[in-house]
Amino acid sequence: MIQKIVILGIVAFAVIAVAMMPSPGDLIHPPSASQSTEASGQLSVQGGPASVAAIDPKRVYANITVVPENVVLTVNQTFKVEVWINNVTDMAGWQIGLLWNKEVIRCLHAQVITPPEWGGLGFDWFNKTAADVNLTAVYTAWLFGSGIENDYTGTTGQYFKAECWGPYGGGYNNTVNGTLCVLTLTFQALQPGSSFLDLTSTEIGDGTASPIGFYAYDGSVEVKAQ
């Protein structure tokens, strides 16, 4: 259950390189008030990865959020969730994985929303061959990743994508600041039960190939018989 994706975007001598595999502690989940302290510009998160100390504390308040957080519906109904990156500064690339209980829900469709700073349209390198690449074309954002895998494991489905600005942006190679929706996913309820919508293998990178600190907010789904 190891997934490794490398995002390479060489623009104005800047390289974004993100290499990930799911493991405990990849994400910084929001601590309770008793777990976090802020003093002299430093952030302490108990139980978080050791790399927290190396992240600029002024930028750790960015977050990646599943919206809506909780979904309640009945069998056979469909619903949509979005993944938002909020309060980010100088973002030049992201990668996001989302896991769910495949016995309860199934992903029908997913769409990446490329920010206008990267041209508004990503080229999906992962699902193309060399014959699909036009060397004279202007490719702005690059997309990588397997996408929807409803049978990712015996119990879980997964969606995984990564996107970054490309080396041939045609004037669109600008970092992203602020709040934006980057993914929309459509699911169908299969049977009564509950499912997590857990962010995993998730990273944000800036224009100097450095990680941007963030909190992760997962979602959940409850499917009722009636």
| Distance of alpha carbon 161 from alpha carbon 83, whole angstroms | 12
**65 in a domain, yes or no?**
yes
Residues of the domain holding 204? 9-32+58-224
CA 199 to chain centre: 7
Confidence (pLDDT) at 2:
28
Confidence (pLDDT) at 180:
95
| Distance of alpha carbon 152 from alpha carbon 100, whole angstroms | 10
Segments of the chain scoring below 50 in pLDDT: 1-59
Look up tokens 């690339």; give the residue: 93
Confidence (pLDDT) at 167:
66
How far CA 222 is from CA of 65, 162, 186, in Å, comes to 18, 28, 15
Look up tokens 């963030």; give the residue: 214
**16 in a domain, yes or no?**
yes
What percent of the chain has a predicted confidence (pLDDT) above 90?
Answer: 52
pTM, entire model: 0.75
**CATH of residue 19:** 2.60.40.680
Domain count, the chain: 1
